[in-house]
Amino acid sequence: MSELTENNTIRTANENGSRTVLVFGATGQQGGAVASALLSDGWSVRAFVRNPSAGKAKELASLGASLVAGDLADPLSVRAAMKGVHGVFSIQPSSGQGAAYGITDEQEVRYGKVVADLALAEGVRHLVYTSVAISGEGPTGLGHFDSKLEIEDHVRSLALRSTIVRPATFMELLLLPGMGLDQGAYNFFLLPDQAGQIIAVRDIGKIVAAVFADPERFAGRTIEIASDEVTGKDLGEKLTHAAGRPIEYYRFSDTLLRENAFLGKLASIIDDGRLAANADIAALEQDFGTLTRFGDWLAGPGEPLLRTALDAKDAMVTLR
């Protein structure tokens, strides 16, 4: 068990240094999935948390993780957290998450570079950075994607053993309330016959844990990761099946995409292929085992999110 010290840092005596990974964002979606997968695979996890007394931090400690208190804005805390670990899972919040963290693209880039620089300085043996699925060369024009390309370039420029994963759109994101499910509709970016890749967050954890387990094989690689590929129509059909009632699929309306510059830009880089995601799912399954199809996710880990979205009285559909 972990124990709180006076400076609010949890003792890490239960860690096995050569099998310890420092996980950033462990109270969040990706970091949480990575922490659980590593713990299941027998790694020691040191979770970097802003508030060790928060409920999610305590949950991590109860699962067996050690907690270190710190903030990405405080490089000294980042450096202290890296002492003696084998690996680092690097993730930063982004401006794309709106007001949740109030972070700018410049801050995201600074945090991502600091984590990589300090991992090198502290002799970390393997850093895994999670980016986003982007194809093609040069900037996309969307700040929270271009920030990740800049961090990727920095990570690759260092004499540090590293792997970059580029996750597709999270299945969890698809079920944010406001997509019209309460009105028997589902609105998203894809055209009815346009294919897009998506990933279950738990698969990010499984893949990253496997990458840490075999650094020789995965070091130096940038890996596009996805669990399934669906068209807009597929989304409507799978949601209809899971909800047990008809769900009509629509692409976000032209009016919405014109009036909301952020959504409009996202739609344009989906349409021009920059955000299409090109993961080879069959090859990923050979390396990492079975990945989660959207229908299975809706009937399993996504079921509570589906129920919430079905009941949400918040309809972007009215903007169609």
Ligand X SMILES: NC(=O)c1ccc[n+]([C@@H]2O[C@H](COP(=O)([O-])OP(=O)(O)OC[C@H]3O[C@@H](n4cnc5c(N)ncnc54)[C@H](OP(=O)(O)O)[C@@H]3O)[C@@H](O)[C@H]2O)c1
Residues that bind ligand X (CB under 6 A): 25, 27-31, 50-51, 56, 71-73, 91-94, 96-97, 100-101, 132, 144, 167, 169-170, 173
Let me know: does 162 contact 126? Beta carbons within 8 Å.
yes
Q: What is the rounded CA–CA span in Å between residue 128 and residue 222?
A: 10
Find the shortest distance in angstroms from Cβ 148 to ligand X. Answer: 7
Residue 244: phi and psi, rounded to 5, are 75, 20
Nearest residue to 220 via CA among 157, 288, 274, 145: 157
Find the shortest distance in angstroms from Cβ 296 to ligand X. Answer: 18
Find the shortest distance in angstroms from Cβ 74 to ligand X. Answer: 8
Nearest residue (CB) to ligand X, 63 versus 248:
63
Q: What is the rounded CA–CA span in Å between residue 192 and residue 143?
A: 27
**List of residues 6+ apart from 276 with CB closer than 8 A:** 135, 195, 196, 197, 270
Burial (Cβ within 10 Å: 0-12, 13-18, ≥19) of residue 289: exposed
Question: Nearest 10 degrees: CA dihedral of 287, 290, 294, 297?
Answer: -120
Nearest residue (CB) to ligand X, 104 versus 183:
104
Q: What is the rounded CA–CA span in Å between residue 82 and residue 118?
A: 8
Determine the distance from the C-alpha atom of residue 82 to the mean position of all C-alpha atoms in its chain, rounded to a whole number: 21
Q: Which two tokens stand for residue 206?
A: 């499984």
Find the shortest distance in angstroms from Cβ 175 to ligand X. Answer: 11
Nearest residue (CB) to ligand X, 15 versus 224:
224
Nearest residue (CB) to ligand X, 129 versus 288:
129
Nearest residue (CB) to ligand X, 92 versus 227:
92
Find the shortest distance in angstroms from Cβ 199 to ligand X. Answer: 8
Find the shortest distance in angstroms from Cβ 225 to ligand X. Answer: 10
Nearest residue (CB) to ligand X, 167 versus 215:
167
